[in-house]
Structure 1
């Protein structure tokens, strides 16, 4: 299943790197690559949105979510097999999905373009662009470079996957804010993003697209709900920040578990349109509650802290 295409120099470069990288280099690359993982992106966005600066979180979050939605849409067009599938000299040093067969393409996903590379550019470059901060700008250049390089060092992506992943991330970071500035009506802007993401329902055969689509829709509804009905205040208090993040993560994973209960495990893991629709709906609800409804308790928490302080 899938398509095989690559340049000879890519295979030669990856084989050469893996010939000398060794266990220590592999361990370092495995740590660096996590900086582009979706869970890390969610953690950073949670801190920005719940604690540091709500508008900052919305700006970065929208860029990241558009990126994670568009990436699998492109992957499902090219259907490129991962490098180690067709090149015996390349080892898979850190599978995308641990515990699954590394040659199970439905579990490990397609290769082009690199999702970690797109994620890291969309996240870290957005941090610098919003704040116009030199240190954050440097981070927005260095971290995506390291994350992308780690992907072909670990054997899970070709260098061209990484290059195109970087390019996609940059397009998102520049185009999404430009569209938002150009389209004054916010609902029209959100509607355009949904229309851009919608075609994936007609051809995408991987669960990551439907997860991302659900998250994007949930985020859009959540920020609108929060702005109209919740209007929570950010905090720089360390203890409050920790509590908000810990509880928020608990709400996220708790809802994820709870919403799976009505469905059979085999159904949820099946590659059917019904299971994909349930997945999209599930993540839509999870994000709506986590981003839009969960902050309702912040005001209660703030009042408790103020009473103790007085």
Structure 2
């Protein structure tokens, strides 16, 4: 709609460059890396069972919204209007006009992901409070606003992304209450996702499809062969998170080596399936095999117990 283009042109023309750069950084909180990092932190450090539920929430969002995009086929604003600049492409190394790499516009996946994951963590968590919910909503709004400012989404893309993301929270919450076996919900998401394999053309869908199966396969393996304990120690938490990020990205890069860059960026079904396989293996190793290291003391330090003075003794 014309008002959307006019609004985006006005924002890019009137917001100072340094402020646009700052605003654009909030897009990162709706991207795949941030969502996987959130899942990893909760899983490796806080509570692995809760982490698996958040992981399923992340995968549901990352899979289902690209499936909608690949039905609507709305082109990104900067692809249609030369007056709008793309200030934060989805794939920096790919051609800005390459739809397979940059994805479609409707709905905003970043906005939907932020609306699904951050409020979802608060709603599904044990320690709920109003401040956490308000902060999660503010972060969701900032992510969506940033997508308009950087020229990657129309305002209506963002509004629909927020709506669909919040709806996803309530759908998954309903399923958690009605279905106690997490494998059944994984299977439901996998079946729906498999439909997308036959018509989705964008790489974001196939990344998420691989993440889903990597997470699902990691659960029985970790329970049988690893069974690590959570930690609340800040040092151990940081080491686990940093180590997990290194393992994931190193594996992802290593798995690219047998394939040429041209093939990986070709947009063919074979390239997409290789992408799914890469992500599946990288996530599986990160969640199921890497935690074996947590048996070393440095990864499992305990928080010192508080001591109280009673009379002349310390207990």
> TM-score, normalised to structure 1's length?
0.91
Change (3 A) 1:303 1:235: closer
**Structure 2 residue corresponding to 1:150, chosen from 140, 146, 152:** 146
Task: Using the TM superposition, name which of 81-90 and 136-145 deviates more.
Answer: 81-90
Kindly provide the CA deviation profile for residues 86-121 of structure 1, in whole angstroms up to 9, marking residues without a partner as x: 223322222222243322323322111111101111
Does the 8 Å CA contact 1:29/1:150 hold for their aligned counterparts?
yes
Gaps in structure 2 of 5+ consecutive residues = 303-315
Q: CA RMSD in A?
A: 1.8
Asked if structure 1 preserves the Cα contact closer than 8 Å seen for 2:124 and 2:173, the reply is no
Q: Distance in 1 between matches of 2:234 and 2:75?
A: 45
Aligned residue for 1:181?
A: 177
TM-aligned CA distance change 1:58 to 1:161, over 3 Å: same
Instruction: Say whether residues 1:275 and 2:271 are aligned partners.
Output: yes
Measured in 2, the distance between the counterparts of 1:248 and 1:94 equals 26
Matches within 5 A, 1:69-108: 69-108=63-102
**Corresponding residue to 2:243 among 227, 233, 247:** 247
Q: Secondary structure at the match of 1:294?
A: helix
Confirm or deny that 1:14 pairs with 2:8.
yes
User: How many residues are treated as equivalent by the alignment?
Assistant: 300
What pairs with 1:118-137 in structure 2 (closer than 5 Å)?
A: 118-131=112-125, 132-137=128-133
**Does the CA-based 8 Å contact 2:218-2:288 persist in structure 1?**
yes
Match of 1:53 in 2: 47
Whether 1:195 aligns to 2:188 is: no
Equivalent residue for 1:285?
281
Task: Name the CA distance, whole Å, in 2 between partners of 1:221 and 1:181.
Answer: 23
The TM-score with structure 2 as length reference comes to: 0.89
- Per-residue CA shift, 1:123-173, capped at 9, x if unaligned? 211121023222221122111111101111111100111111112211221
Q: Could you tell me whether the CA contact under 8 Å between 1:127 and 1:137 is conserved in 2?
A: no
1:232 to 228, 231, 248: 228
The answer as to whether partners of 1:67 and 1:168 remain within 8 angstroms in 2 is: no
Question: Could you say if the C-alpha distance between residues 304 and 101 of structure 1 is closer, same or farther in structure 2, counting changes exceeding 3 Å?
Answer: closer
Superposed displacement of residue 239, structure 1: 1.4
Contiguous gaps of at least 5 residues in structure 1: 1-6
Q: Please identify, of 291-300 and 195-204, the stretch whose mean Cα deviation from structure 2 is larger.
A: 291-300
Task: Give 1:301 deviation, angstroms.
Answer: 3.4
Once residues 287 and 53 of structure 1 are traced to their aligned partners in structure 2, the CA distance between those partners, rounded to angstroms, is 18
Deviations 1:56-80 (A, max 9, x none): 3222221111101111111111111
Choose 199-208 or 168-177, whichever is displaced more.
168-177
CA deviations on 1:1-40 (whole Å, 9 max, x unpaired) are xxxxxx1221122122222112122112112222222211
Q: Distance between the aligned counterparts of 1:303 and 1:84, measured in 2?
A: 46
2:306 paired residue number:
none
What's the secondary structure of 2:152's corresponding residue? coil
- Distance in 1 (alpha carbons) for counterparts of 2:155 and 2:190: 30
1:151-170 equivalences under 5 Å are: 151-170=147-166
| Cα deviations by residue, 1:199-230 (Å, 9 ceiling, x for unpaired) | 11110111111111010111111123223332
The farther-off stretch of 297-306 and 94-103 is 297-306
Q: 1:236 to 1:218 in 2, by over 3 A?
A: same
CA distance in structure 1 between the aligned counterparts of 2:219 and 2:59, rounded to whole angstroms: 13
